[in-house]
């Protein structure tokens, strides 16, 4: 609950809206409600309602923003066949979901085999020999959502979604692009351009690389990197540092912590001749803005 509350307070509403609409793993999770019976694709009425209604409100609000952009308005005025008006959001989203259903369940343009990867990051070639009859979401502790694919041949494969291949098909496959429609691809262009996620990912993995160079236990590498990435610079939390310093130097009987001998020895006359409080680097870090200022709590007076 605490992590969810932090997410809701940090992430801007437009980003949440995009996540509700263009989260392909979530969309495929809904497609698990479909199944093949007697050669026909079926779904219960309530599951279909949930699948078609999910993300409608968020997408329509986002689509209104897209249609209000000047270059999109000019495009709509030049070509009146394009559904680039604010009230067209429901129809455009329905085409998007219909196309995803065809790609997964009808193997549209034979793209389904590269849409899923197995645990060795290989494409599922069973799609070329047999048809999918059931799709199940599998609980997994990893960041990727895993699915169990059951084929008419009796073969069962555990696989994860390869989102980059799906998005690539939106642009480089004529039939998939046609099924989606030009309007959806314009909206997706706007969504991807507004993301700016690549630099965040590169920065995070760069931090993991630095922790790896420092050595230590490899099984806590990810946890250390997450803590370092999420929390502010320790120098930005003076109250926390004061408490840590007190525990280190004085100890705490209730916690059973013993006092430690100070490891720093400095001549006061030498310290007074310096123009820095501690050193040039430490002073610069002390004045540096934290990465996540929202989690810094001011000291209570």
Where are the domains positioned within the chain?
Answer: 2-193, 231-295
pLDDT at residue 3 in the model: 56
At 150 the pLDDT is: 93
Record the tokens describing residue 194, joined without a space.
Answer: 């507004």
Instruction: Answer whether 290's CB lies under 8 Å from 232's CB.
Output: yes
| Cα separations in angstroms, 274 against 267, 268, 270, 279 | 11, 10, 7, 8
pLDDT for position 264: 58
- Confidence (pTM): 0.60
Neighbours of 114 (CB within 10 A): 17
Q: How far apart are CA 269 and CA 274, in angstroms?
A: 9
Position 261 scores a pLDDT of 66
CA neighbor of 21 nearest in space, from 57, 72, 65 = 57
- For residues 60 and 89, the answer to whether their CB atoms sit within 8 Å is yes
Query: Which residues of the chain are modeled with pLDDT < 50?
Result: 1, 199, 295, 297, 299-301
What local confidence, expressed as pLDDT, does residue 301 receive? 40
């Amino acid at each position: 609950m605490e992590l969810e509350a932090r997410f809701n307070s940090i992430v801007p509403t437009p980003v949440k809206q995009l996540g509700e609409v263009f989260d392909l793993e979530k969309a495929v999770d809904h497609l698990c409600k479909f199944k093949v019976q007697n050669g026909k694709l079926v779904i219960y009425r309530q599951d279909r309602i949930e699948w078609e209604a999910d993300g409608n409100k968020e997408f329509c609000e986002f689509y209104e923003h897209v249609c209000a952009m000047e270059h999109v308005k000019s495009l709509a005025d030049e070509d009146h066949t394009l559904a680039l008006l604010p009230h067209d959001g429901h129809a455009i989203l329905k085409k998007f979901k219909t196309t995803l259903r065809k790609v997964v369940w009808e193997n549209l343009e034979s793209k389904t085999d590269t849409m899923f990867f197995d645990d060795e990051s290989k494409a599922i070639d069973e799609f070329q020999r047999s048809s999918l009859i059931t799709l199940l979401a599998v609980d997994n502790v990893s960041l990727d959502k895993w699915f169990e694919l059951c084929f008419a041949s009796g073969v069962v494969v555990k696989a994860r979604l390869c989102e980059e291949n799906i998005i690539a098909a939106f642009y480089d496959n004529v039939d998939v692009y046609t099924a989606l429609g030009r309007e959806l691809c314009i909206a997706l262009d706007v969504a991807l351009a507004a993301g700016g996620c690549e630099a965040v990912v590169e920065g995070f993995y760069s931090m993991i690389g630095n922790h790896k160079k420092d050595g230590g236990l490899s099984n806590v590498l990810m946890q250390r990197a997450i803590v370092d990435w999420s929390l502010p610079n320790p120098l930005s939390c003076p109250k926390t540092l004061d408490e840590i310093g007190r525990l280190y130097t004085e100890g705490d009987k209730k916690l059973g912590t013993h006092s430690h001998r100070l490891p720093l020895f400095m001549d006061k006359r030498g310290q007074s001749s310096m123009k820095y409080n501690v050193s040039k680097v430490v002073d610069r870090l002390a004045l540096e803005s934290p990465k996540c200022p929202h989690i810094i709590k001011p000291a209570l007076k």
